[in-house]
C-alpha cells in the first residue's frame, strides 16, 4: 500500500524554503509590510498561488500514475494534451471537478486503456467530458454515468449542512441546462447517461456488465452511500482495475473500504482517493 500526501517531497522542500524565507523577511519592518500586502493581493492569489498549486497538481498526477504503471514518457505528453485541450477550459459550473481531478482521470485512462468505466455523479459534466475525451483519444471504451439530476434556479445554488456536518450544494445544474450539458456532442457516442438515484440504478446497471475497469464515485458523499457503491462494484473490478472516490475527507468511508478489501495500492491527494485492485 502506498499513501500519497497532499505534497510530494520536492514540493515540500520548495514550500519549506518559501515559508522559511517569508518568515525571515516579514520580520524586517518595511519588507514585511510589503510582503503582507503582496500576499493579500489579487496578484498573489491569481498568479503566484494558483500557478504553484497547478504545478503541484501536475507533479502529483505524474507521481501517482508512475506508481501504477511505471515511468513512461507518455505521461508527460498526456498531461500536456489535456492541459491544452478545450475540455480543460470548459465553462465553470458549480460542484464541478477541479483541475487535478481532470488531469488525473484523463492520464489514468490514457495509460490504462479501459473498456468499461462507470461514474456516479455527473452534474454539469466536466469530469464526464474528461473521461470521454480520454476514451475518444484511446479509440476505445464506454462510459456509463448515473446522476440524480439536481437543478438550481437563479445565479447560484443554495447550500445546506449534511447529517455528517459537511456543507453541500442543493443543486449543481442551472435550471435551463441538462445533466452533463458541458459534454461536447462529438464525445457522446461513447456515453450512456442514466438519470436516477445510484442506490437504485447502480445495481441494475452492473447486472448487465461483465466487468468495470474504472469506477468513479462523485455522487452523494455520505458514508452510507460511498460504502454502498464501493461494495456494489468491487466484485466487478478486475485485477489492475481502479476505484476512485471523490471528497474522501467528508467521512471515513474510503479509509474503511481500503482496510476491508485486499488491494495493491491506494492513494490520497486533494480529497481524491484511488484504489488499485
Q: Which residues pair with 215 in a beta bridge?
A: 118, 243
Mean pLDDT value of segment 151-162: 88
**How far is the C-alpha of 239 from the C-alpha of 216, rounded, in Å?**
16
Average pLDDT, rounded, for the chain: 88
CB 248 within 8 A of CB 218: no
Length of the chain, in residues: 277
Least confident of 1-10, 147-156, 177-186: 1-10
Q: CB within 8 A of 62, min separation 6: which ones?
A: 75, 76, 79, 107
> In the structure grid, which three cell numbers stand for residue 178, read together?
441538462
In this predicted structure, the answer to whether residue 148 has a pLDDT above a threshold of 80 is yes
Give the per-residue pLDDT at 44: 47
pTM of structure: 0.83
At residue 266, φ and ψ (nearest 5 deg) are -145, 150
Closest CA to 101 of 84, 82, 120: 82
* Residue, of 17 and 262, whose pLDDT is higher: 262
* Alpha-carbon dihedral sign for residues 190, 193, 199, 204: negative
Per-residue pLDDT reduced to its tens digit, 75-133:
999 999 999 999 898 878 877 888 999 999 999 999 999 999 999 999 999 999 999 99
Per-residue pLDDT reduced to its tens digit, 40-74:
655 445 555 567 778 889 999 999 999 999 999 99
C-alpha distances (whole Å) from 217 to each of 29, 40, 59, 169 are 50, 36, 23, 17
Closest CA to 240 of 257, 266, 264, 270: 264
Closest CA to 127 of 102, 110, 109, 149: 102
Give the per-residue pLDDT at 116: 98
Least confident of 5-9, 73-77, 243-247: 5-9
Q: Which residues pair with 269 in a beta bridge?
A: 272
How do the domains of the chain map onto residue ranges?
73-276
3-class SS of residue 11: helix
Mean pLDDT value of segment 174-192: 96
Per-residue pLDDT reduced to its tens digit, 166-175:
888 888 899 9
**How far is the C-alpha of 78 from the C-alpha of 219, rounded, in Å?**
27
The domain defined by 73-276 folds into Rossmann fold (3.40.50)
Least confident of 161-175, 176-190, 206-220: 161-175
Mean pLDDT value of segment 183-190: 97
> In 26-91, which residue ranges form alpha helices assigned H by DSSP?
29-39, 42-43, 50-69, 73-83
Closest CA to 240 of 136, 108, 119: 108
Confidence bin at 219 (pLDDT 50/70/90): very high
**Exposure of 150 in the CB half-sphere (CA atoms within 13 A):** 21
Amino acid at each position: 500500500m502506498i499513501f500519497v500526501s497532499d505534497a510530494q517531497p520536492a514540493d515540500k522542500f520548495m514550500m519549506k524554503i518559501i515559508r522559511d524565507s517569508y518568515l525571515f523577511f516579514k520580520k524586517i519592518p518595511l519588507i514585511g509590510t510589503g510582503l503582507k500586502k503582496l500576499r493579500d493581493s489579487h496578484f498573489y492569489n491569481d498568479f503566484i498561488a494558483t500557478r504553484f498549486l497547478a504545478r503541484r497538481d501536475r507533479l502529483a498526477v505524474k507521481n501517482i500514475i508512475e506508481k501504477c504503471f511505471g515511468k513512461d514518457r507518455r505521461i508527460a505528453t498526456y498531461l500536456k494534451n489535456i492541459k491544452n485541450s478545450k475540455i480543460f477550459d470548459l465553462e465553470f459550473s458549480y460542484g464541478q471537478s477541479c483541475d487535478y481531478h481532470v488531469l488525473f482521470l484523463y492520464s489514468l485512462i490514457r495509460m490504462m486503456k479501459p473498456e468499461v468505466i462507470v461514474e456516479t455523479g455527473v452534474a454539469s459534466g466536466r469530469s464526464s467530458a474528461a473521461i470521454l475525451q480520454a476514451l475518444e483519444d484511446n479509440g476505445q471504451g464506454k462510459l456509463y454515468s448515473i446522476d440524480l439530476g439536481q437543478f438550481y434556479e437563479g445565479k447560484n445554488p443554495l447550500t445546506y449542512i449534511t447529517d455528517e456536518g459537511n456543507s453541500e450544494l442543493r443543486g449543481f445544474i442551472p435550471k435551463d441546462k441538462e445533466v452533463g450539458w458541458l459534454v461536447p456532442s462529438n464525445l457522446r457516442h461513447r456515453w450512456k447517461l442514466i438519470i436516477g438515484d445510484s442506490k437504485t440504478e447502480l445495481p441494475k446497471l452492473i447486472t448487465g456488465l461483465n466487468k468495470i475497469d474504472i469506477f468513479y464515485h462523485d455522487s452523494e458523499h455520505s458514508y452510507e452511500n460511498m460504502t454502498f457503491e464501493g461494495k456494489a462494484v468491487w466484485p466487478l473490478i478486475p485485477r489492475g482495475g481502479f476505484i476512485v472516490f471523490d471528497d474522501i475527507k467528508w467521512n471515513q468511508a474510503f479509509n474503511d473500504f481500503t482496510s476491508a478489501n485486499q488491494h495493491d495500492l491506494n492513494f490520497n491527494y486533494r480529497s481524491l482517493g484511488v484504489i488499485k485492485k
